[in-house]
Amino acid sequence: MRDPVIETDRLRLRRHRLEDAEHVRALWADPAVVRFIGAPAGGQESWSRLLRYVGHWSLFGYGYFAVEERATGRFIGEVGVAHFRRDGFDEPEDSVEAGWVLAGGCQGQGYGSEAAAALHGWVDRTLAFGRTHCLIDPANAASIRLAQSLGYERRAEVVHGGKSAVLLVRARRA
């Protein structure tokens, strides 16, 4: 598969590049961005995350996209699908985990909905999975609303990494 680029009215979703390393570090080091995900990440963890993104594309032909504003080229976040093989959590069969994260100054402007909708349209057209799933902190009401607007339904409360999470599942759309 060639490198996919997804464009919306305001956004471009593209594969990560080496020059995104500082953007990834800044995104994942921001306590406001990761407050529902975990602790802020240091440079080593952010570098490993970037390598996981690139590796996912190499191994599977899909993964996480860097999200940038089309008008400015500014890096504003990430959306994608992945097999995280989380300890203590068995992925639902015929499913891949979806996720999204935006820089603090970019939240509340509809970018998350726009990027996530574009991602899911691409997943539905391109990948053969019967469904996608996501794990969201129960206190993250905005992310749960976004998931539900995309067609996700609550399936269970699970524990991952010692924290409670809501498992949401979405059937593939034709």
SS3 16: coil
Q: In whole numbers, what is the pLDDT of the chain averaged over residues?
A: 94
φ and ψ at 133, to 5 degrees?
-140, 160
Paired tokens of 66? 């860097």
pLDDT of res. 139? 96
pLDDT of res. 160? 80
pLDDT of res. 92? 84
pLDDT of res. 1? 53
pLDDT of res. 85? 86
pLDDT under 70: residue ranges of the chain = 1-2
Place of tokens 């996480």: 64
